[in-house]
Amino acid sequence: NGVTVDAKGEWSIKLLDGGESSFNTRLGYIGATHEQFGRVVAGTQWSPYYDVAGVADLPIAFANDFLYADQYNLGSARAERMLSYRKGFEFGEGFGFNLGLGWQGEHDMYDARGQIALSTELAGFGLGYVYSGGDRQIGTKNESATSHVFSANYGKYGSGLYAAVVYGMNEYFYLDLPETVQLEGLLAYGVN
């Protein structure tokens, strides 16, 4: 029937600090992929938001704090308890369009939230936009935690010249701050 089912688990162990959260799930999902209809994934996974916002987050260690500050709850990098759908479209050689949708149900201080990611590639250049939105509790009030991120990149990281820029506008999305702006850049050259 053309469907490939896969599952992945990845955990972290804090050997030195220990405490309540010494063992954590980093990734834990089950997915189904069909060449024509796309991919559906359920569980803790890399989010569609990260597909666009993570183009400058490629060095060995975390390249920024923004994506990881509350990633599991907001779905800005790894997203906990997310249902996602991704589909790529090819329009001839070297031109593609990607769609990503994500949904997280209500939990703890967070209402249900959704995200939509759009990106394109043409002759080595990439452009992307992602929106994430949903309410979260800040103190005794509910606030709308939203993020709009634009990204551009060129090349393939680790193989020759790679450049990426990310710009984001956010409300109650980073460290409970009412408004934040993120700007990231990466310029790298990899030798094969």
pLDDT of residue 25: 86
Using one digit for the tens of pLDDT, what is the confidence trace for 13-24?
877 766 677 778
CA torsion, points 151, 153, 159, 161, in degrees to nearest 10? -130
Residue ranges in the chain whose pLDDT is less than 50: none
- Please state, in angstroms and as integers, the Cα–Cα distance from residue 21 to each residue in 12, 37, 68, 128, 173, following that order: 10, 38, 16, 35, 23
Cβ contacts of 119 within 8 Å, gap of 6 or more: 51, 52, 97, 98, 100, 126, 127, 128, 129, 151
> Per the structure block, which two tokens stand in for 53?
């916002």
Domains of the chain plus CATH, in order, are: 40-190 (2.40.160.10)
Helix or strand holding residue 152 (H, E): strand 141-156
Q: What is the CA radius of gyration of the chain?
A: 17
Q: How far is Cα 155 from Cα 149, in angstroms, rounded to an integer? A: 20
Q: How far is Cα 168 from Cα 88, in angstroms, rounded to an integer? A: 23
pLDDT of residue 112: 96
Using one digit for the tens of pLDDT, what is the confidence trace for 33-51?
999 999 999 999 999 999 9
pLDDT of residue 189: 94
pLDDT of residue 16: 78
pLDDT of residue 12: 86
Q: How many residues does the chain have?
A: 192
pLDDT of residue 61: 67
